[in-house]
Structure 1
C-alpha cells in the first residue's frame, strides 16, 4: 500500500504541466539524439545536462527531463539500425539483424512501428519491476555500514567490464584515472591541499559536470568531425505503414519475454543493455526455432532486442537509485546530475527525496506513452534528421554545451577545463580506453574514500573490518566474479554477436 501511495504522489509530480512539458521535450530530443549514429544515450544526457542547469530547473523536473532523454535515445537508436544498418548505439546492434532486412523488403515503416511498440512494452515491464524491487532493495541497503559500502563501490568498479564491453585492463586503468582526478582539491578530513598546484579554482575539486560534458560531448564532437564531417546520409523513402493487429499479437509474447530478460540484465551489476539485447534475441531465436526467419527480416527479431535493451535501460536505474551505484554508462551520468543537485542516491533517497524518486518513476510510465505517440506518427521527421549534414548539427550541439557550462558558474576557466577534458576524452577514445569508468571513478571516489576512512576509524586501523560481515563477504565475492567473468564470457559473447551479424 505504501508503494501505491508513493506512486500516486509520483504521478501528481509527473503530471504537473511544467514537468509534463519537459518530459515531452526530453523524449523528443532524446529520440533525435538516438537517431544519430554513434551518439547514444550517455552522450545525449551529458550534452543536455548544462541545459537543465542553465534553465534553473528544480531537481524533479531536471531529472524527469533527462530520464526522458535517456528513454528517447534508447528508442531513437533503432532508427539508423533499421534504415541504414548502422547501430545508433551498441545495444541496437542486434536490431540490425532483422530490422535492416525488413527495410530492404519495403517494410521499413512496419519495422520502425514494431520496434517502437516493443520498446514501449519492454520499458513498461521494466518500470513495473523497478516499482516492485527498488523499495525492497532500498530497505536492505539501510543495513549497510561503511565496510559494506566500500565493498559495494569495489563491486561497482569490478563489474565495469560488463558495462563498457572493453578490455578489462583498460577499464580498470580508466577507473584509476577517475579515482585520481577525484582526489584533487582540499582534503575535508585533514585540510591538506591535494594536487591543486596553487590554482585557486582547483581548491574545491573538479566539477564532475564539466568533466562529463567535456569527456562525452566535446570528445564526441571531435570524433564526429574526424569521421563524419561532410555530407549527411541519403534521405530514406519509406513505404506507407501497413501494420495489422495480427502483426502486433505476433510480437507480444516475444516482447514480454524480452522485457523481463532485459530488466534482469539491467539490475545485475555490469550486465547492461547490450547483454539484455543479445540474450533476448538469442533466446527468442531458440524459442521460435524453425518456425522463424531470423536474420532475414523476422518481426520478432526486431521486437526481442528492442524490448531487451529498453528493459535493461530501466532496470539499470534500480541500483543507481537504491544503492547509488550506476548500472550503465547513462545512469552514471544521471548519478552525476543528482549529486550536483545535492541529492545523494541511495536508500535514504526514498524517504528524504521521495517526490524526486517517485516522480521520475511515474514519468517513465508516462514517457513511454509519449514516446510511442511521438515515434509512430513523427518517425519521418527523425528519419530526415539522418540526412542533415554534420556542419549544421555540430555548431548547435557545441553551443548548447558551452552556453550551458558557462551559465552554471560564469567562469571562463570552466570552459577551458571542459575543452581540456574533451581533448583528454578524445585521446582516451583513440587509445580505446572507455570513458564511463573515468566518470564513475570521479563520482564514487569521494564516497569510497570517506567510507574507507570511516571503517578504519571504527576498527582502529584493522583492515579485517572490510570483510568482517556476511554481507561484505558476499559483496567481495560478487566483485571477484564480476572482475573475472567479463574476461571469460566477454570474448565468447562478442564472437557470438559477430557470428549472428554474419
Structure 2
C-alpha cells in the first residue's frame, strides 16, 4: 500500500495536478457556501471542460469540488444559519447557536480540523480497502454483477430522501432513459421517437446539466433572496483546551461512522451526518447543551460527512457502481475520457487510481488552509445577488452542452431536461436517483443478457451462485424494510376506522 501511495503522490504533486486540485477546492468551497448551487449542479456544468483535460487532472479537480463543498457548506450554516449543502443542515442546529453566542470561530475551527482528520483517515481507508474489494470483484461473473447492481438500485431507493415510491419512480425513469438508443446485440432502436440524434442514446452531459443545473436555476429564480448578515463576529479561529477535549471523541466517532456509511448507495452521505448527530446527543456528557450550541454537535457531523464523501469513492472506483449522484457524474466524466471504472481500473489505470486517492489528502490540507483564513471572503460572496450569477451560468450551460458533440440538439436536450427537472422539483421528486438509474440501467441490462446467454436461459443461475443469491436476499430484505412500515400504517388506520 505504501508503494502504491508513493506512486499516487508522485502523480498528484505535479504542478498541473496541484493547480487543478486547488481550483477544485476553491470552487467546491464557494459553491458549498452559496445555498442552492451544490456540487451536483456544478460538476454537471463543468463536465464539458473535462473533455479537454488529462483524465487524472480532471478527476482530481472534480473530486476537489465534491469534498470542498462539504467544507464550504458548514461556513454559511454556522455564520448565517443557511446550509449550503444538505449535509450542513445538521451543522446549523449547534453551529449557528455557537455563532450567536460569540463562538463562531471555535465552530468553524472544529469543523475544518475535524473534517481534515476525517478526510485523512478515510483516504487511508480507501487506499487499504480498494485493492481488497477489487480482488473480490475480479471473481464476479455476470450474475453477481447483475444482482449487485439490482441491490444498489434498491438501496438507493430505500435511502433516498422523501417518498420511497417517488424515489422508486425516479430510479425506473432513469433506467428507461438509459435504455434509449440502439440495442447493441439486436441493433433495434428503442425509445428514440424518430430522432436520429438519439440513436446513440440520451447524452449524459445534457441530462445532468439540465436536471440539476438548469432546473436549480429556475427554482432559485422563483424564490426571493433572503440573505442575512452574520449573527455575530467570528472571533478567534481556534479552540480552547476544554473545547478541544470535548471535540476529540466526537471527531473519532464521526470519522468511524462516516467512513462506513459513506459506502452505502443513495443517501449514505446525508445518513452519516444525521446518524452522527443523533449518536452525539445520546452519548455526550454535555447532552444538556444540545440545542444551545454544543460543540459535539458540530465536530461529529462535520467529521462524518467528510469521511463519507471520501469513502463514497470506494464502490465507484473498485466496482464501477456510484454511491450517489456525484459519483454517477464521476463515472460519466471517466466515460467521456474512454475509461470504464471497475475492478480492472487498478491494474489498467494505476496512476489514475492512486493519484486520485493521494490527491484527496492533499485537497483536504488545501481546504483547511483555504477555509479558515478566507472566512471574510466567503461572507462577502454570500452577499452577491443571484441575478448576477444565473445569466453567466446559463450561458456556460449552453456552450458546454454544444461543445461535446458540436450539436445544437444537445443544447435542446439540456433545455428540455431543465424543464423536466424543474417539474420534478415542484412535484417533490428527488432527481438524484434518476441519475443513478441512468448510469446503472444499461450496465444491469448488459450483465443480465450475459448471464442468460451463459446459462442458456436458465434464470436459476441468479440463486444458484452463492454471492448472487446473497445480494438478491439483501435486496429482498431492503424491500421488506421499505414496504413494512407503510403496510403497518394502513392496518393501524383500518383498525382505527
* Range into which the TM-score falls when normalised by the shorter chain: over 0.9
1:9 aligns with 2:4: no
**Cα gap change, 1:292/1:362 in structure 2, threshold over 3 Å: closer, same or farther?**
farther
**Cα gap change, 1:242/1:183 in structure 2, threshold over 3 Å: closer, same or farther?**
closer
Residue 332 of structure 1, CA deviation: 1.9
Residue 240 of structure 1, CA deviation: 3.1
User: In 1, distance between residues paired with 2:329 and 2:204?
Assistant: 9
Match of 1:330 among 320, 323, 326: 326
Gaps in structure 2 of 5+ consecutive residues: 487-497
Residue 369 of structure 1, CA deviation: 0.1
| Structure 1 match to 2:177 | 181
Give RMSD over aligned pairs. 1.9
Aligned 8 A contact 1:125 1:256 in 2: no
1:379 aligns with 2:375: yes
Of 212-221 and 433-442, more deviation after overlay is shown by: 433-442
Write the deviation string for residues 61-115 of structure 1: whole angstroms up to 9, x where unpaired: 1000000000111111112211222222221121111101011112222211221
Gaps in structure 1 of 5+ consecutive residues: 491-502
**Cα gap change, 1:379/1:489 in structure 2, threshold over 3 Å: closer, same or farther?**
farther
Taking structure 2 as the reference length, the TM-score comes to 0.93
1:196 aligns with 2:192: yes
User: In 2, distance between residues paired with 1:424 and 1:350?
Assistant: 38
Aligned 8 A contact 1:24 1:370 in 2: yes
1:467 aligns with 2:468: no
User: In 2, distance between residues paired with 1:14 and 1:429?
Assistant: 38
**Cα gap change, 1:370/1:239 in structure 2, threshold over 3 Å: closer, same or farther?**
same
Secondary structure in 2 aligned to 1:267?
coil
**Cα gap change, 1:460/1:399 in structure 2, threshold over 3 Å: closer, same or farther?**
same
Number of aligned residues: 486
Residue 162 of structure 1, CA deviation: 4.4
Secondary structure in 2 aligned to 1:227?
coil
Residue 190 of structure 1, CA deviation: 1.0
Match of 2:144 among 148, 153, 159: 148
| Structure 2 match to 1:130 | 126
1:239 aligns with 2:234: yes
User: In 1, distance between residues paired with 2:306 and 2:420?
Assistant: 31
| Structure 2 match to 1:498 | none
| Structure 2 match to 1:157 | 153
Match of 1:39 among 37, 40, 54: 37
Of 402-411 and 289-298, more deviation after overlay is shown by: 289-298
User: In 2, distance between residues paired with 1:52 and 1:402?
Assistant: 16
| Structure 1 match to 2:493 | none
1:364 aligns with 2:354: no
**Cα gap change, 1:232/1:367 in structure 2, threshold over 3 Å: closer, same or farther?**
same
Write the deviation string for residues 233-259 of structure 1: whole angstroms up to 9, x where unpaired: 446663332524623344222112111
| Structure 2 match to 1:51 | 49
Residue 198 of structure 1, CA deviation: 3.1
**Cα gap change, 1:367/1:35 in structure 2, threshold over 3 Å: closer, same or farther?**
same
Match of 2:447 among 451, 454, 457: 451
Aligned 8 A contact 1:123 1:310 in 2: yes
Moved over 6 A (4+): none
User: In 2, distance between residues paired with 1:481 and 1:13?
Assistant: 43
User: In 2, distance between residues paired with 1:332 and 1:483?
Assistant: 23
User: In 1, distance between residues paired with 2:296 and 2:444?
Assistant: 44
**Superposition pairs for residues 28-427 of structure 1, below 5 Å?**
28-53=26-51, 56-228=52-224, 230=225, 232-234=227-229, 238-244=233-239, 246=241, 247-290=243-286, 293-427=289-423
User: In 1, distance between residues paired with 2:433 and 2:282?
Assistant: 35
Residue 47 of structure 1, CA deviation: 2.4
Of 435-444 and 135-144, more deviation after overlay is shown by: 435-444
Aligned 8 A contact 1:182 1:446 in 2: yes
**Cα gap change, 1:268/1:181 in structure 2, threshold over 3 Å: closer, same or farther?**
closer
